[in-house]
Amino acid sequence: MLFTIGTRVKFRFTEETGVVIGYLEDGMLQIRLDDDPEFEIPAFEDDILPYEELGPQQAATLYGAGLQKKVPQAPQRRVLTTQYHILKPKGLQLAFEPMPGRDDQISRYKVWLINDTQFEFLLEFDLYSSTRDILSADEKVQTASALELGDFLSDDLNDSPEAFVKIQRITTAGLEEALETTLKIRPKQFFNSLSTAPILGVPAYQFVVFNSFEKAADSEEGLADYTKSKKKSKRADSSNSRQYKPYDPEAFATFVPEIDLHIQKLINGYAKLDKGEIVRIQMLHFQKFLDRAIRLGVPRIFVIHGLGEGKLREAIAARLKEHPDVVKFKNEFHHKYGYGATEVYLQ
């Protein structure tokens, strides 16, 4: 394969540039775009070219006149942060974000380490199965952040995967004693753990790895134990209390309470995307829009999804049904949008 992880590439037809971050099925590559690092799109090798930000003459002869190739480096891991204080932090959490592919089938998950506390940590992470070492990381974890760890394939769930996590909390007095644990990942408990991930703001299968940092865990907690504890916490949190919403009068006044999710309104170069990837991008924009409306205290929004096959409308409805800040929503005829938009009422 010509393109390895970390190779910078350019699309033949759209001239967009990016970096190879993974391999997909059928010989396809996963590309993270330079102009919007939050978006990753699949591409066939025939549709991309090697690319380096060199002078015109160097770029023209790169890979074609005997120039020595640079050894590609793996792309830097993304770190997502939040400017809002998290009132009820859960601790360090492992989240598996579904990444829809062709025909909306989930063949891989984006793995994140979420830290919703005000502490920083040194992290040693290793995710492995009975057949292969899946991914590893040695990173510094920022406060109130989500650290991208890598990709996890659906097929790996059948091979008894386990996640080893070792952390050291960073304090003004130096590094604290290391804490470590091993999380056994089993399919049944995995698929019962879907909820909206903090900081990411998208649905993900997630598990608390550490919620206390006073002493090292002395037992290996399986996902079955985690699921039981999660159900208990849900019952305990079933009160009518709500989290505090920061209110920004200027942002509220300028907020446009509608979003058009037609893909041509969101990104360039969409013609090369399959339907599954388009829906994923649309849902990412929808989730960010919804989160911002909730933070600002907006009482009503419109989500323009069009008619089409109805898959996007159904995906939006499924997300709204499970969201605690959604009072009600409806997809009825509207004089401005027809039947192509969903009206959402928020708390």
In order of their start, the domains of the chain are 8-61 (2.30.30), 79-236 (2.60.40.1600), 249-346 (3.30.1370.110)
The helix, strand and coil proportions of the chain, stated in percent and rounded to the nearest 5, come to 25, 35, 40
Determine how many CB atoms are found less than 10 A away from the CB of residue 31.
25
Quick: pLDDT tens for 258-291.
Answer: 999 998 888 877 777 878 888 888 888 898 899 8
pLDDT at residue 216 in the model: 41
Q: What is the band of 103 on the pLDDT scale with cuts at 50, 70, 90?
A: low
pLDDT at 70 over 50: no
Residues in the chain: 347
More confident residue, 106 or 218: 106
Lowest mean pLDDT among 105-119, 239-253, 299-313, 314-328: 239-253
Lowest mean pLDDT among 87-91, 311-315, 325-329: 87-91
What tokens does 206 get?
Answer: 């997630």
Lowest mean pLDDT among 49-58, 190-199, 249-258, 319-328: 49-58
Contact 312, 285 (CB under 8 A): no
pLDDT at residue 129 in the model: 87
Contact 186, 224 (CB under 8 A): yes
Order the strands of the 341-346 sheet from edge to edge: 258-260, 300-304, 341-346, 326-330
pLDDT at residue 237 in the model: 45
- Give the bridge partners for 128, in sequence order: 133, 162
Whole-model pTM?
0.49
Contact 295, 287 (CB under 8 A): no
Average pLDDT over every residue of 214-240: 48
pLDDT at residue 297 in the model: 86
pLDDT at 39 over 80: no
Calculate the average pLDDT of the chain: 80
Quick: pLDDT tens for 117-174.
Answer: 989 999 999 999 888 888 888 899 999 999 999 889 888 898 889 999 999 999 888 8
Contact 296, 255 (CB under 8 A): yes
Sequence-ordered list of residues with C-beta below 8 angstroms from that of 79, at least 6 positions apart, any chain: 142, 145, 146, 147, 148
Q: How far is the CA of 82 from the CAs of 20, 167, 187, 198, 199, in angstroms?
A: 27, 21, 31, 9, 6
Share of the chain above pLDDT 90, in %: 29
